[in-house]
Structure 1
Amino acid sequence: MLMAYPATRQDYPELIALWQASVTATHTFLTPTDSQKIREQLPTYFAAVELTKWLDGSKLIGFSGRQGPMLAMLFIAPDSFRRGYGHQIIERLNQKQNLRLVDVNEQNPGALAFYQRQGFRIVSRDALDDAGQPYPILHLRRD
């Protein structure tokens, strides 16, 4: 059974390791240098969101970060991909507060397809990411 727990600073090393594994599996467009820069900024990103870790029994499945109606981050352990965990997390977060917004890298078609299956649709696109890098961002919304 999938359980949610507020994440704390003590969880950061484990969450960063999961992030790295997930990004290695899905964000093949990132250069190693850019991936390392993002990794170094994760504690700052974590502190800016309502950070939740998701466990099935004692196994860390993933983590999410939200800011009100926006899902700011969702990362799943690669060995837990395509097992329904992402859908369960989205639904649980939506029950807590209507989840309406999410951004996704355009170069991550698997994530885009996942969010579209959850009812999100593309509403706009930025050519650069928040750091000004050439990783286009798609802004998605669901009503």
Structure 2
Amino acid sequence: MKSTDINRVMGIWLTTNLEAHPFINPNYWYQNSSNVQNAIQQADVYCSVSANERIQGFIGLQDNYIAGLFIAKDYQSQHLGTNLLNVAKEKHQQLVLDVYLENQRAIKFYQQNGFQITKHNSLEAEMTWLK
């Protein structure tokens, strides 16, 4: 990610969270956006970019922790998330992430990509992938 990409990345982050998590008060995402923007600028971020150089999605990594994987709505279901996960898998022996249990689409996606639930509470699950 280039520093000039932050507005597009944050737009994808906000829009995707609002759409994927209707069970969370939208104010939560708005209130946390500046903290997330700071975290993104400190993370290793890899972007999927279209032929006309438009960011389609991104994955943010903090060491072996996937802080987020987001694909813009117009580009979902085109294997971009899998491609971004594969980039992360090439760089790490193990990956860990947290996912909301109510987001069954995300859980299914990660399971199809080799992740297993390793811990959970009433709201979230930790999922792990090992090489």
Q: TM-score range by the shorter chain?
A: 0.7 to 0.9
Q: Deviations over 1:76-107 (max 9, x none)?
A: 00111111111111112211223421111112
Q: Which runs of 4+ in 1 moved over 6 A?
A: none
Q: CA deviation at 1:71?
A: 1.3
Structure 2: gaps spanning 5 or more residues: none
Q: CA deviation at 1:30?
A: 1.6
Count residues with an aligned counterpart: 129
- Quote the Cα distance in structure 1 between the aligned partners of 2:98 and 2:127: 6
Counterparts in 2 of 1:8-19, with a 5 A limit?
8-19=2-13
| Structure-1-length-normalised TM-score | 0.81
Instruction: Give the corresponding residue for 1:56.
Output: 50
Structure 1: gaps spanning 5 or more residues: 1-6, 128-135
More helix per residue = 2
- Quote the Cα distance in structure 2 between the aligned partners of 1:62 and 1:118: 17
Q: Does 1:46 align with 2:40?
A: yes
The question of whether the paired residues in 2 share the 8 Å contact of 1:93 and 1:99 is answered with no
- Quote the Cα distance in structure 1 between the aligned partners of 2:94 and 2:60: 12
What is the RMSD computed on CA atoms of the aligned residues?
1.6
Aligned match of 2:114 in 100, 113, 119? 119
The question of whether the paired residues in 2 share the 8 Å contact of 1:124 and 1:140 is answered with yes
The question of whether the paired residues in 1 share the 8 Å contact of 2:48 and 2:80 is answered with no
The question of whether the paired residues in 2 share the 8 Å contact of 1:71 and 1:99 is answered with no
Q: Does 1:100 align with 2:99?
A: no
C-alpha change, 1:90 and 1:10, in structure 2 (3 Å) is same
- Quote the Cα distance in structure 1 between the aligned partners of 2:124 and 2:114: 18
| Structure-2-length-normalised TM-score | 0.88
C-alpha change, 1:126 and 1:45, in structure 2 (3 Å) is farther
- Quote the Cα distance in structure 1 between the aligned partners of 2:110 and 2:78: 15
SS at match of 2:48: strand
